C-alpha cells in the first residue's frame, strides 16, 4: 500500500477505508451496535463534563476558557476513536458507502436511528450518574451553574441558529474522524482529533450527542442553582426536543453532505470504473 507523508494514509486511501468501515458498521448485529452506541454517548458526555469543569472557572478569560475547554472536550471523540464505539455524528460518514451503492438506504437509516437512540441512553445515563455523584457541586456550585447556563442557551436559541451551528459542528467532527483514519498510531489519531474538535467547541457550535448529556443534567440541576439564570425556564423535555431536532438535522447536513458526499465525488465516484481502465492501460 502506498504511503503518504510521514507514513500516513493518503486522502484517496482514507476514502476507501471510510467506505469499507461504513459497510461493516452498517451490518453490525443490533445488540453490538446498540451497546457501542451507549458507550459513545457516555464517552461524549465525559468530554462535555471535562469542558464544563474548565469553563466554570471565572478566572479564565473568554478565549482561554473556550480554547482550553475545547481541548479537554476532545477526550470524548478520542475515546470513541481509540477505545471503539458507535457515534451518530461520526457515522454520518456512512453516507459515502451508501452513495457508492455498498449499503442500502434501510441499513443506513437503521444504523443512524439505533446509534442515535443508544447515544441518548449513554449520554443521559451518564448525566444521571454525575448528578447522583454530587460532581456539579464542585467549585462552590459553579459547575452546576455553568451546566444550567449552557443548557438554557441551547434550549432557547433560534432554530435556524441551532441548525447551522449543528452543520458547522459536524463538518469539523467528521473531518476529525476522517483525519484520524489517516493515522497508524494512537498518537497520530490524537493529533488528528484534537484541533477540529477543540475548534468546534471553542466556536460554540452544536453537537447533538453532547447536548443529550448537558440538557438532561441541567434538568436535574436547575431547581438547585442559586440566583436567576436567563432562559432557565426553557430547560425541560420540550426544550431538549426543540434543541435536538434542528441540531440533528444540521449535524446530518454537515457530516453526510458537506464531508461524506463531497469526498465521495472527489475520490470514489467512478473509482471502480477507473481502476480496470488504468490496469488495462498499464498492460499494453
- DSSP states of the chain: ---BTTTBPPHHHHHHHHHHHHHHHHTS-HHHHHHHHHHHHHHHHHHHHHHHHHHT-TTS-HHHHHHHHHHHHTHHHHIIIIII---TTGGGGGHHHHHTTSS-HHHHHHHHHHHHHHHHHHHHHHHHHHHHHTGGGTTTTHHHHHHHHHHHHHHHS-HHHHHHHHHHHHHHHHHHHHHHTT-SSHHHHHHHHHHHHHHHHHHT---HHHHHHHHHHHHHHGGG-SS--TTGGG-SHHHHHHHHHHHHHHHHIIIIIIIIIHHIIIIITTHHHHHHHHHHHHH-
Q: How far apart are CA 75 and CA 35, in angstroms?
A: 19
The pLDDT score that the predictor gives to residue 271 is: 65
The pLDDT score that the predictor gives to residue 6 is: 58
What residues in the chain have per-residue pLDDT under 50? 1-4, 273-284
pTM of the model: 0.91
Q: How far apart are CA 155 and CA 6, in angstroms?
A: 44
Q: How far apart are CA 150 and CA 85, in angstroms?
A: 26
Centroid of chain to Cα 42: 12
Closest C-alpha to 213, from 137, 142, 133, 150:
150
Q: Which CA distances in Å does 125 have to 42, 128, 138, 213?
A: 7, 5, 20, 8
> What domains can be seen in the chain, in order of their start residue?
11-269 (1.20.1080.10)
pLDDT digits (tens, 9 = 90+) for 133-174: 999 999 999 999 999 999 999 999 999 999 999 999 999 999
> Do 220 and 139 contact (CB within 8 A), yes or no?
no
Give the up-direction half-sphere exposure of residue 236: CA atoms within 13 A in the CB hemisphere.
6
The pLDDT score that the predictor gives to residue 8 is: 79
The pLDDT score that the predictor gives to residue 186 is: 92
> Do 166 and 203 contact (CB within 8 A), yes or no?
no
Q: How far apart are CA 201 and CA 181, in angstroms?
A: 21
> Do 179 and 247 contact (CB within 8 A), yes or no?
no
Q: Please work out, in degrees rounded to the nearest 5, the angle formed at the alpha carbon of residue 265 by the alpha carbons of 271 and 4.
A: 65
Cell numbers representing residue 247 in the block = 441540531
Q: At what angle do helices 159-180 and 186-203 cross, to 10 degrees?
A: 170
The pLDDT score that the predictor gives to residue 88 is: 98
> Do 267 and 11 contact (CB within 8 A), yes or no?
yes
Alpha-carbon Rg for the chain in angstroms: 20
Amino acid at each position: 500500500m502506498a504511503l503518504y507523508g510521514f507514513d500516513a494514509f493518503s486522502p484517496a486511501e482514507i476514502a476507501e477505508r471510510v467506505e469499507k468501515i461504513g459497510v461493516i458498521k452498517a451490518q453490525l448485529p443490533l445488540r453490538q451496535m446498540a451497546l457501542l452506541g451507549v458507550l459513545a454517548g457516555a464517552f461524549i458526555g465525559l468530554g462535555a463534563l471535562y469542558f464544563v469543569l474548565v469553563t466554570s472557572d471565572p478566572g479564565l478569560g473568554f478565549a482561554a476558557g473556550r480554547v482550553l475547554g475545547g481541548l479537554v472536550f476532545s477526550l470524548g471523540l478520542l475515546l470513541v476513536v481509540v477505545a471503539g464505539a458507535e457515534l451518530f455524528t461520526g457515522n454520518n460518514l456512512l453516507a459515502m458507502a451508501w452513495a457508492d451503492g455498498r449499503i442500502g438506504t434501510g441499513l443506513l437509516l437503521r444504523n443512524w436511528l439505533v446509534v442515535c437512540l443508544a447515544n441518548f441512553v449513554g449520554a443521559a445515563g451518564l448525566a444521571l450518574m454525575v448528578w447522583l455523584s454530587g460532581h456539579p457541586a464542585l467549585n462552590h456550585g459553579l459547575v452546576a451553574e455553568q451546566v444550567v447556563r449552557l443548557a438554557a442557551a441551547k434550549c432557547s436559541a433560534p432554530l435556524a441558529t441551532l441548525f447551522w451551528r449543528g452543520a458547522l459542528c459536524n463538518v469539523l467532527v467528521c473531518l476529525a474522524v476522517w483525519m484520524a483514519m489517516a493515522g497508524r498510531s494512537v498518537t497520530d489519531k490524537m493529533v488528528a482529533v484534537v484541533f477540529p474538535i477543540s475548534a468546534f467547541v471553542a466556536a460554540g457550535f452544536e453537537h447533538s450527542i453532547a447536548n443529550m448529556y448537558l440538557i438532561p443534567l441541567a434538568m436535574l440541576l436547575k431547581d438547585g442553582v442559586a440566583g436567576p439564570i436567563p432562559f432557565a425556564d426553557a430547560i425541560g423535555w420540550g426544550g431538549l426536543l426543540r434543541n435536538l431536532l434542528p441540531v440533528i438535522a444540521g449535524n446530518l447536513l454537515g457530516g453526510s453532505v458537506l464531508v461524506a458526499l463531497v469526498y465521495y465525488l472527489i475520490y470514489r465516484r467512478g473509482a471502480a470504473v477507473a481502476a480496470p481502465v488504468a490496469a488495462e492501460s498499464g498492460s499494453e
